[in-house]
Amino acid sequence: MTATEPTIREQELADLASVDDTEWGVRLLAATPTHEGRDLGLLRQWACRADEFGARLAPVPSAARVVERDGGLESMLLARYTSRPPTVELYTDTLALAEELVDARGWRAWYPPGSVRAAALAHEAVHARLHHGPEKAALKQALGHTVLRLGRHRVAGHVAGAEEVAAHAYARTVCGLGRSPLLLTAALRAVLPRPGREK
Amino acid sequence: MGVVILLVMAAGVALMLARRLPTAFALVLLAVVIAFLAGAPFTGKNSVLDTVLQEGAPTLAATMIAIILGSWLGKLLDETGIAGTLVRKIVEFGGDRPTVVALGVLAVSALVGTVTGSAPAAMLAGIIGIPAMIAVGVPKVTAAGTVLMGIAVGIPFELPLWQFFSTALELPIPTVRGFMEKLFPFALAAALAFVLVETRRRGTEHAWSLKSVDTKPRSRREELGDAPWYALLAPAVPLVLALGFELAIIPSLLAGVLYALVTTTRPGAMNKRLLRTLYGGFEVAAPPIALFIAIGILLAAVKLPGTVDALEPLIKAVSPHNPVAFVLVFTLLVPLCLYRGPLNVFGLGAGIAGVLIATGIYPAVAVLGMATSYNQVFGVADPTSTQTVWSAQYAGVTPQQVMVRTLPYVWAVALGGLCVTAATYL
């Protein structure tokens, strides 16, 4: 490790906090396959609508079984929802690192103690709801992406990644977070070694 | 001497399995050793230098040309955004139903599989298809398996493969096509079953992934938009011409290249794009071409009169002739085409097929049935094949996980193909 490396990382993390939550939504969509050639203005519009949609969703209790495990840092995961059987897996090593990072960055006002775990549960609970409930069609309508027009009729298209933006907005709202969980996601990604960068 | 040749073949398989020698080099070495053991002279008629190396190397030349053209078309589908647009449209239309998206990616993979094979085919369909499936909730192993099973649906109609079997087994193209048409329903049924059963069994999966956001904004460099709808027909052009109009393979593939070009490229940019994608296609085609040169050499060695005389009594003694025994034995031997095993058609399996035909143990068309049935397994489940390795790693799982999940389905395809072979040709 060189002497300048921590300085560069500090700078990088400070820069991340200066990016607003909508821009994080745009970056998530931009990194989602199928949006490679999309106009950034359109992605911003979708990110805003998905964020508003997620923030408006009423709180819902999760019926899924919760399993805690480690190995999240290795697989770059914080939580995972599987529908068969309905289970939320929480990766304790990633959650612990997230809490450490919140303290180290002085972001505690945005992410109160234990809020990352609560946000993970809320995030995965809303995935179950968006997957099975009527909100699935409502999100599609809210995004307003038309893929086919036949006279007066139009077919609303799926926007890959929008559900993820909505789930993060929902978690931010119901857990009372000061910033989107996406900022924390980006910060975790920035501090973790990436393939090809390990010593 | 037959026993010694079989032992040498076993040693060759061991070298390939242990990764001591790349498959192509091991096959050439095997061919030369087998030829010497069979008593072939150094030069002259039925010799090591003139027959095995000189005449053997270009045996599969027509296949190599078809491979280059398929790779060229594959590069064009990539560069012009045709493959990406196909997947993007599928996600937009069916994205909130993971099974529909998986079936759509399966269809695109099948289409791509008719044009080109191995890792380039998987990349064409999978670069956008795999993460797109994962994004809509398809579990990772199922996503990787869907692309591979889709390519396997296209394999029976992969024109370069018709050319390969036609030349290697000395069968007319219509005979190869006839069997492939019989194999196709099994491959299609297995692929559909894979998607429907696995998406139902495993359900959906959504992850809060640390890789979901880029810490840096996307650059504003010019990116490809969608290809026009009529350009999306390009992958089907060679197939329609070869299958529907019975046009020869090379002109059919060339027509596909031209169609993809004129529907996506301004006239002023055509020359540049054609050359760039052609040279890119050579790069993609290099590994299979090296393999086909080696297979041609091996085929020449196993067809030498000395080799045939040495192996005939041994192979005859162990080869089942009763149709039921044929199906049972060769179905049980399916795992021998995995891990570059001795029944891998693009390895020693080609040599064994050559021996079976040269010794007259089975009619060539029955060997075709056997080889193509095994190829359906190898093309999907072999953890050492490039398309399986690429798809699995790109999805973030291991090739072994993909093998375990897909093997039952492709084993059933092999069983179907062997049943048709036994019922029709034995």
pLDDT band for position B223 (cuts 50, 70, 90): low
Domain boundaries, chain A: 5-191
- DSSP code per residue over A14-37: HHHHTS-HHHHHHHHHHTSTT-TT
Any B CB within 8 A of A192 CB: yes
pLDDT at B352 over 60: yes
Q: Which range is least confidently modeled, B259-268, B291-300, B417-426? A: B291-300
Which residues in chain B are closer than 8 Å to A28, comparing Cβ atoms? 212-213
Query: Is residue B362 helix, strand or coil?
Result: coil
Using a 10 angstrom Cβ sphere, with 0-12 exposed, 13-18 middle and 19 or more buried, the burial of residue A103 is exposed
Distance in Å, alpha carbon of A158 to nearest chain B alpha carbon? 4
Distance in Å, alpha carbon of B198 to nearest chain A alpha carbon? 11
ipTM for the predicted complex comes to 0.86
pLDDT at A133 over 50: yes
pLDDT at A12 over 70: no
State which residue of chain A sits closest to B202, comparing Cα positions.
Answer: A84
Report the amino acid identity of residue B225: G
Return the residue matching tokens 């064009």.
B76
Query: Is residue A147 helix, strand or coil?
Result: strand
Helix residue ranges per DSSP H, B234-269: 236-239, 249-262
Chain B residues with CB under 8 Å of a chain A CB are: 81, 84, 87-89, 91-96, 127-128, 131-132, 135-137, 139, 201-215, 217-218, 220, 223-226, 396
Which residues in chain A are closer than 8 Å to B84, comparing Cβ atoms? 36
Q: What percent of chain A has pLDDT over 90?
A: 51
State which residue of chain B sits closest to A187, comparing Cα positions.
Answer: B215
Whether B112 contacts B83, CB under 8 Å: yes
pLDDT band for position B58 (cuts 50, 70, 90): very high
Residues B172, B173, B174, CA angle at the centre, nearest 5°? 95
Which residues in chain A are closer than 8 Å to B139, comparing Cβ atoms? 82
Instruction: Report which of residues B141 and B246 the model is more confident about.
Output: B141
pLDDT band for position A1 (cuts 50, 70, 90): very low
Q: What is the pTM of this model?
A: 0.82
The DSSP bridge partners found for residue A80 are A89, B207
pLDDT of residue A198: 38
pLDDT at B60 over 90: no
The model's pLDDT over B109-136, given as tens digits with 9 standing for 90+, comes to 998 888 877 777 888 788 888 888 988 8
What dihedral do alpha carbons B111, B114, B119, B120 form, nearest 10°?
-80
Say if the Cβ atoms of A155 and B206 lie within 8 Å: no
Distance in Å, alpha carbon of A197 to nearest chain B alpha carbon? 15
The model's pLDDT over A158-176, given as tens digits with 9 standing for 90+, comes to 898 999 999 999 999 999 9
Cα–Cα dist B331/B329, whole Å: 5
Mean pLDDT computed over every residue of chain A: 86
Domain boundaries, chain B: 2-204+229-425
pLDDT at B70 over 80: yes
Residue A155 tokens read as 């077919």
Say if the Cβ atoms of A185 and B212 lie within 8 Å: yes
Nearest to B413, CA basis, from B380, B381, B365, B376:
B376
Which residues in chain A are closer than 8 Å to B220, comparing Cβ atoms? 40
